[in-house]
Amino acid sequence: MTLIKSISGIRGTIGGAVEENLTPIDTVKFAAAYGTWLKQQRNKDNYRVVVGRDARISGEMIQNLVMNTLVGLGIHVIDVGLSTTPTVEVAVPMEHADGGVILTASHNPKQWNALKLLNHKGEFLNGAEGQKILELAESNDMHFAEVDDLGKITKNDAYIDLHIDEVLDLPLVNKKAIEDANFKVVVDGVNSTGGIAIPLLLERLGVHPVKLYCEPTGHFPHNPEPLKEHLGDLAKAVVKERADLGIVVDPDVDRLAFMDEKGEMFGEEYTLVACADYVLSKNPGNTVSNMSSTRALRDVTEKHGGTYEASAVGEVNVVELMKKNNVVIGGEGNGGIIYPELHYGRDALVGVALFLSLLAEKKMTVSELRTTYPNYYMSKKKIQLTPGLDVDGILSTMESNYSHEKLTTIDGVKIDFADSWVHLRKSNTEPIIRIYTEAQSQVEADSLADRFIAEIKAVANI
C-alpha cells in the first residue's frame, strides 16, 4: 500500500494506515491545504472550486471528503459529479471558479485514487505552487470558517454536455464530413466516465457507437492503461462488429488511443501525430511534445512548415513550452492531445473529434491512414537501483560519456543519434532509472534499451 505526495498532487491506495495510504485523514489534510492555498492567492469575499471524479469505487467517498473540507474553509463547491479530467478543466473558467479538483488516479488500478489540483485557469499547478501546498499540509497552518461563513455545495450535472458543445463549436471539427462518413465505432470506456462522455460525443457527431465496458461502475475489466496488451476484447469487438475503428480511453479520459478496422493498434504515440497532421494542414504552426514522445510529430510538423520542440516530461512542462512557443497543437505521446483553441489540458474528447475529422476528409480506412506516417518503434524499460545510489551522479556520467552527441538535459539525459534516440530519467518516487528508446525497428529499439541498461549497470557497479 502506498501514499505518494508530490508537487503534482497526492495519490495513493485506499485503506490502511494514515500517512502510508490515501486515508480519509490524508484526504482531508491535503484538501484543506489546497483550499488554504487558493484563498492566499486572491483576496475576495467568495471562493469557488469545481470538483469532479472518475468512476472509481472510492470516488464518491473521496469526493465528499474533499468537498466538505472546502465547505469548512468557507469555499463554495460546484459538484460536477461523475466527470472527466478535461471536463473539469473546461468547467473551471466557465464557472469563473478559483480552482478545481479532480478525483482520479488516471490509469492506475482501481485500488488507487488521487487529488489532481487546478488553478483558476483550469490548468494544473506548477512545481512551486504544488510545493507550497505540500508545505501547508505539513505545517497544519490552516484556519477554518466560522459557522455563519461555511461554504455551500451546488450540484451541476450539465458539464459533460457543455464540454461536448465546446468541442463541436471548434471551427476545425468537420461535423458534416463525419456525419456523412457514417462511421461505426466500438468504444472501450473501461467502466469509467469515458463510457459516458465518448458515446455522447459520437452520437452528437452522427457516429454509431458500440459500447464496450461503458458502465461507470469503477470495476475496471482490464488494466486501465490503454496499451495493446490490455485490449484484446476491443480488438475482437471491432472485427466482430465490422466497425471502422475502435476507441479506448483511460479512466479519467485524458489519454486516447485508436484501433484500426482490423483490430490492430493505430499506435498510442500516433494519436497526437494524426491530430497534429490534421490541425497543421488547416492552420500551420509549431508543435510541442515531451522528450519521451515519438519523432514522428517532428516530421509531420516540419512537413507543414512548422517548428517542433520537446519539453521535459509532464503535462505542466508541455503546456509551459506550448505557451512560450505559441503552438497550435501539442501534447504527450501517451495519447494526450492538448489543443489550445479549447483549453490547455490533455483532452480525449477533442482528440476524437479531430481524428474523425481527418479520417472523414481523407476518406481512408484507419489502417491506410497509419501508412501515411513515418514508422518509428519505441521501447520503454527501467533499471532497479540499490537505495542510496547517487542517481544524479550516474546520469551525469552518462552525459559525459556521450558529450560528443546531441544532448538534451532539461529532464534527465536525452541522446539524439542520427536514426534513433534514448532518454534516461530518474523516478521521483523510487530508486529506478527509466530508459526510453526509439528507432526504425522494434529490434533496434529494444537492443538500444538493453545496451544502455548494461552501460548504466557498469557505471553504477551493479
* Residues in a beta bridge with 212: 188
DSSP state of 68: H
Residue 378's beta-bridge partner residues?
438
Q: How far apart are CA 67 and CA 49, in angstroms?
A: 9
How far apart, in whole angstroms, are the C-alpha atoms of residue 229 and residue 331? 23
Long-range contacts of 379-382 (CB under 8 A, 24+ apart): 379/435, 379/436, 379/437, 379/438, 379/442, 379/445, 379/446, 379/448, 379/449, 380/434, 380/435, 380/436, 380/449, 381/434, 381/435, 381/449, 381/450, 381/453, 382/427, 382/432, 382/433, 382/434, 382/435
* CA dihedral sign, ordered 39, 43, 45, 51: negative
Using only C-alpha atoms, what is the Rg of the chain? 22
**Cα atoms found within 13 Å of the Cα of residue 357, Cβ hemisphere only:** 22
User: Which residue, 7, 108, 86, 121, is CA-closest to 337?
Assistant: 86
Please give the positions annotated as active site.
106
Taking alpha carbons only, the member of 127, 6, 124, 116 closest to residue 56 is 116
DSSP three-state, residue 127: helix
| 31 Cα distance to chain centroid | 22
Pairing of strands 336-338, 329-332: antiparallel
**CA distance linking residue 163 with residue 350, whole number of Å:** 9
Which residue in 212, 339, 222, 320 sits closest to 271, CA to CA? Answer: 339
Backbone angles phi, psi at 57, to 5 degrees: -55, -35
Of the candidates 352, 353, 359, 356, the one whose C-alpha atom is nearest the C-alpha of residue 170 is 353
Give CA–CA dist 116/88, Å, rounded.
Answer: 11
256-259: strand order across its sheet: 208-212, 184-188, 245-249, 256-259
Q: What pairing do the DSSP bridges indicate for beta strands 9-13 and 112-118?
A: antiparallel
For residues 192 and 84, give the distance between their C-alpha atoms in angstroms, rounded to a whole number.
Answer: 9
